[in-house]
Amino acid sequence: MLDYAGLAAVAAVVRQGSFERAADTLGVTPSAVSQRVRALEERTGTALIIKGAALPGHGSRSPALRSRRASVSPRGGASC
């Protein structure tokens, strides 16, 4: 079964560029957003959000969606 609250939280974080703005959009606390994202990550066994990684157009400290293949660290190195 899909976790719609978790998917909505991940989408809001990516769209808004921060957990705080995502929480405002969803009408919940930043802690609730974090818990929903964490629950979805645990369910899928995959880290979906990398805190502190850059998203294009959102500044240097915005959370980024993690690629299934690899992610690029803020220092330019790749990790899996």
Task: Give me the CATH code for the 4-71 domain, please.
Answer: 1.10.10.10
Question: Number of helices and strands (H, E) in the chain?
Answer: 3, 4
Chunked mean pLDDT (size 10), the chain, 80 residues: 89 93 96 96 91 58 46 41
pLDDT reported for residue 28: 97
State the pLDDT at residue 53. 63
Count CA within 13 A, CB hemisphere, residue 63: 24
Task: State pLDDT tens for residues 25-42.
Answer: 999 999 999 999 999 999
Report pTM. Answer: 0.66
Coil, helix or strand at residue 66: coil
pLDDT given for residue 2 in this prediction: 77
